[in-house]
Amino acid sequence: MLDKIKQHFNRKNLKDKEFAFLFDGVHKDEIVVYDCETTGLNTKTDNIISIGAVKIKGDKILINEAIHIFIKQEEEISHKSITIHQIRNCDLKGAIPVNEAIERFLYYIGNRKLVGYYLEFDIAMINRYIKPMFGITLPNKREEVSAIYFDKKIARIPQGNIDLRFDTILEDLNLPRLQAHDALNDAIMTAMMYLKLQHTRKLN
Amino acid sequence: MIALLETLKSNLPFSLLQNTPFLLIERTAQIAYYPNGTSLINRSAIANKLFVIIKGIVEAREDEELIDIYHSNDIFLGIELIKNEPSKYDYIVTEELICYEIPMDTFLKLCNDNQEFKSYFFSTIVERMEMLKEKNDYSSMSDLLIARVDETLLHKICEVEAEMPIIEALQFMENSNSTSLLIKNENGYGIVTDADFRHYILYKEEKNLKTISQIQTYPMISINKGELLFNILLLMTENSIKYLPVLDENNQLLGVLELIDLLSFFSNQSHLITVQIAKAQSLDTLILASSRVEVMVDALYSKGVKSRYIAKLVSEINRKMYLKLFELIIPTSWHNHCGFIVLGSEGRSEQILRTDQDNALIFEDNFIIPDDIKEVTNKFIETLDKIGFPRCEGNIMIINPQWCKSVSAYKKDIDNWFDKPSMEGFMDMAIFVDSITAGGNNYLHTQLLTYIMDKIKEHKEILRHFVKAIDNFDSPLGIFSQFVSHDKAHKNEIDIKKSALFPLVHGVRSLSLEYGIRESNTTLRIKELNNRGFMNKKDATNLMEALEVINTLRVQSQLKQWRRGDKIDNYISVVNIGNLEKDILKEALKTINKFKKLLSYHFHLNTVS
């Protein structure tokens, strides 16, 4: 209920009616899994370097429709963050301006539900841009993969601490590990986690 | 590029593709998830995509019968797509599947643009091995096997006329710096070496020795150019000879091969061990020499010698060892009246590492079994303990009166196997027909085998029940579906003897009995079955290859256990073997499956209860 009211005001703030489709109910067949690589972990000051996103339809990951957007940086990427995500300045050659990137991303997700690992962060990162651009925050329905994992795991370990690290979940679900820290690979791995969790009733 | 595609690119046949085709795959392929039990495509349905497994297991089945199993990086439905044929099997997910699905159009375009890529789908396992980079490892392993005798290894010939006086011949030999003399007789050559001169020095007066032909070894053992060095080693070891003349295609002398050169070529201890065994005067020296066989096997194996040749060499050595044991332990007065036989894998000359012993004594009917039989046989088996042969769990040893008795007592057993068929009887019979004499009078054993063969001719029906035991274990391919064995001690391992070796060996054994084949070795039996027209050359070769693959994997695993000092068993790990080995094993198991079907048809097993 509260959510609905919030979305109502959110929609009212929308400056560009072209993006009204974001508010059109929820896409029935498809969801989008996405991940951002950023210059740091502060959603107020750090920038997005790349966005990887992939759609899931039924039990299929549509890698043929995946997107991997690289964003032009105002400043050079710091050495510290290069070592983490291994995106060098020269890798951003095909990069596009941030506004263009965000618009492409919005057209891609449409009214689909969003899924991610530590999704809150990735949504906050996107909101940091669309709030000034369009006056709104992302209205899409969302689902957190680590939360689904937690729910299925907690049945087994009622009081236990559940390790929710990305690699731990991946290993526990017996999924192949890809070369990490590339937005698209992370999105695909998250998509595999999501699909597998959809078919798992309880985890051992 | 997506990292998942990178892994795809590192495996055959996708490694044959350039970068552009990968963009096409990236633009069209999807990753799919299927839970357990999903039927991916049914038999006779038309496929519209190629499956490449990222993780999980898929089984191909035909009327519930398991045909093939696919794992990570395996591809299926390729041939059907290329030929535009419906699927031959039902494909069912047996372990949660994550896979690529490459649409038919993309796949066919890739095939069209790259002939090498396309032909991969029609290649045999051998051709795939060739394509692999690991190829080198495999070919270097077979160097020793394919090494054949050529002129470079040979010594110059020193040839003399038969009538040449001995001293003159010796002088000639000395001058030409040779170690052996070849004597030209009217009918072929003879050879004179050090040992013959010793004979000359000792007996020249007594025997009035004058010409070189009087002391020659005639006829001499020789071989033709091109013979496998390994076979030559066996020949020389068997006959205890040091010099071996080599002939060309027209039987003209090419040169002489000396054992010392051959040995340095192989640089293993097989000859040494044989010599030590042959020379052993006491049990202690015999035990010492015999316990070094495993070291030799290890060395040979790591040089890549095929397991069937190692087995041949080992059984050659063991034969000598048993003979010596027989001479040293069994009282001389018994020698002509009893036969010592080895049975089972030793009888088939297929035992490489000492996993077991099966032996028996047969006495002549009118020979009264002596009172000290117990002490003698106990001493025999205790010596085998010391050499390192584990005792037979089924108690098939000469210390068991059941396996130490007269010919007619054995005949009574044989009658029983036929008159009152039972599983135990069949198992005894199976072990008994895989036997050879290893000491004493071999006529006794031949007599019993003939007795069995004659019985079988009269009661062919019994073979159907005899062979039935191959059905006791599931399809050997099944071992790939679940790596979990019920035994906690053998997690992720399979008993390769039960699931793969037994059906093959037992099937071949049954057919050999039907055809009256006297060979005890499985490879030789298969060759003979081919000669008699039961199976064609291709099937025979495939079956022998399957045997080789399984034995190699088995020895590999047993050597590991031996090096660690663990008990040697028949379990092999299916998890730790490489992808290529897995494929080869799978191919071998398929061959065995096919053979089982053939047996089932041949013996009408479905009508046997």
Give the CATH number for residue B574: 1.20.120
Last residue of a domain, one of B218, B246, B266: B266
Does the distance separating the beta carbons of B30 and A62 come in below 8 Å?
yes
The CATH number of residue B319's host domain is: 3.30.460.10
By percentage, how much of chain B surpasses pLDDT 70? 88
Residues B351 and B406 placed together within one structural domain of the fold: yes
Stretch B17-23: mean pLDDT: 82
Inside any domain, residue B144:
no
Q: Please indicate, yes or no, if residue B56 is contained in any of the structural domains.
A: yes
Mean pLDDT of B429-443: 92
> What per-residue confidence (pLDDT) applies to B73?
82
The CATH number assigned to the domain holding B39 equals 2.60.120.10
pLDDT of residue B129: 53
Given B459, B490, B522, the domain boundary residue is B459
- Res. B278 pLDDT band, cuts 50 70 90: confident
Q: Are residues B328 and B369 in the same domain?
A: yes
pLDDT at B576: 66
CB pairs below 8 Å between A and B: how many? 59
Q: Which of B156, B101, B168 is nearest to A64 (CA)?
A: B101
- Indicate whether this model's pTM tops 0.90: no
* Contact criterion met (CB < 8 Å) for A185 and B96: no
Average of pLDDT values for B186-215? 87
- Asked whether residue B389 falls in the same domain as residue B514, the answer is no
B257 and B309 in one domain? Answer: no
In a domain, B593, yes or no: yes
Asked if B297 and B438 sit in the same domain, the reply is yes
Residues of chain A with confidence (pLDDT) below 70: 1-2, 76-93, 155-160, 179-181, 204
In a domain, B411, yes or no: yes
Same domain, B517 and B552: yes
ipTM of the modeled complex: 0.77
Average pLDDT, rounded, for chain B? 84
Domain count, chain B: 4
pLDDT per residue as tens digits for the range B31-84: 899 988 899 999 889 989 999 998 888 888 888 777 788 888 889 998 889 989
Q: Is the pLDDT of residue B309 over 90?
A: no
**């890698």: which residue's tokens?**
A63
B27 with A64: Cβ contact below 8 A: yes
> Do B294 and B434 sit in the same domain of this protein?
yes
* Per-residue confidence band for B279, with pLDDT thresholds at 50, 70 and 90: confident
Residue numbers in B near A178 (CB within 8 A) = 2-4
Q: Is B2 on the interface with A (CB under 8 A)?
A: yes
B positions 83-122 inside 8 Å of A (CB): 96, 98, 101
Mean pLDDT check: name the lowest of A7-16, B175-184, B595-604. A7-16
> Do the domain assignments include residue B138?
no
User: What was the pLDDT predicted at B485?
Assistant: 46
- Rounded alpha-carbon distances, angstroms, from residue B211 to B167, B177, B565: 9, 21, 58
Structural tokens at position B477 = 């391919």
Nearest to B4 among A178, A196, A199 (CB): A178
Instruction: Please indicate, yes or no, whether residues B255 and B299 belong to a single structural domain of this protein.
Output: no
- CATH number at B172 reads 3.10.580.10
Q: Tell me whether strands A113-116 and A30-38 are parallel, antiparallel or unpaired.
A: parallel
B137 is a domain residue:
no
Which of A173-182, B184-193, B202-211, B312-321 has the weakest average pLDDT?
A: A173-182
pLDDT band per the 50, 70, 90 thresholds, residue B360:
very high
- One domain, residues B53 and B181: no
**Is residue B69 located within the same domain as residue B84?**
yes
For the purposes of burial, counting CB atoms within 10 Å of the CB of B332, is it exposed (0-12), middle (13-18) or buried (19 or more)?
exposed
Q: What is the pLDDT of residue B103?
A: 93
Q: How confident is the model at residue B137 (pLDDT cuts 50, 70, 90)?
A: very low
Range of the domain at B542: 469-607
Closest CA to B360 of B375, B379, B338, B384: B338
Structure tokens belonging to residue B440 = 């004493």
Q: What is the pLDDT of residue B141?
A: 38
B455 and B318 within one domain: yes
Is residue B147 one of the residues assigned to a domain? no
Single out the residue in B459, B484, B512 at which a domain terminates.
B459
Best CA proximity match to B601, nearest among B534, B540, B543: B534
Which residue of B57, B98, B99 is the best one to mutate when testing the A interface, meaning the one whose CB has the most A CBs within 10 A?
Answer: B98
Which of B11, B25, B31 to mutate to test binding with chain A, by most A CBs within 10 Å of its CB? B31
Distance of CA B370 to the CA centre of its chain: 39
CA separation, residue B596 to residues A48, B456, B468, B472 (Å):
63, 21, 10, 12
Nearest to A60 among B27, B32, B55 (CB): B32
Q: Which residues of A touch B (CB under 8 A)?
A: 59-64, 66, 174-176, 178-179, 182, 184-185, 188, 191-192, 195-196, 199
Domain membership of residue B148 (yes or no) is no
Residues B374-426: tens digit of each pLDDT = 999 999 999 999 988 989 888 999 999 999 999 999 999 999 999 998 888 99
Distance between CA B403 and CA B209 in Å, rounded? 51
pLDDT tens string B494-538: 778 888 899 999 999 999 999 999 999 999 999 999 999 999 988
Per-residue pLDDT of B236-273, as tens digits, reads 888 888 899 998 888 888 889 888 777 766 655 566 67
Report all structural domains of chain A as residue ranges with CATH numbers, in order of start.
2-143 (3.30.420.10)
Average pLDDT over residues B582-601: 86
DSSP one-letter string for B261-273: HHHHHH--SHHHH
Do residues B242 and B276 both lie within one domain? no
Tell me the pLDDT tens digit for each residue of B282-293.
Answer: 888 888 888 778
Model pLDDT, residue B26: 84
Check pLDDT > 50 for residue B314: yes
